[in-house]
Amino acid sequence: MTTALSKEHETELINEKNYYIKCKDAFKNKNSECAIVIKT
């Protein structure tokens, strides 16, 4: 879903690696911890 306030990112993932994603909104508010964990 793409809106005026969202961003879409794309990258290649390495197998058997964990990715920890934090988010920040237009008002500079951030998650205190990881918002998304991607396990490959």
- Residue 27 in any domain: the answer is yes
* Per-residue pLDDT at 2: 53
- The answer to whether residue 7 sits within a structural domain is no
The pLDDT, as a whole number, for residue 3 is: 60
1 occurs within a structural domain: no
User: 23 lies in which domain range?
Assistant: 13-40
Residue 6 lies in a domain: no
Q: How does pLDDT run along the chain (40 residues), one tens digit per residue?
A: 556 567 788 889 999 999 998 888 878 888 888 888 999 9
Tell whether 3 is covered by a domain: no
Number of domains within the chain: 1
Residue type, 16: E
Given this model, what pLDDT does residue 5 score?
Answer: 65
Closest CA to 22 of 37, 7, 11: 37
Kindly state whether residue 37 falls inside one of the protein's structural domains: yes
In a domain, 18, yes or no: yes
CA 22 to chain centre: 5
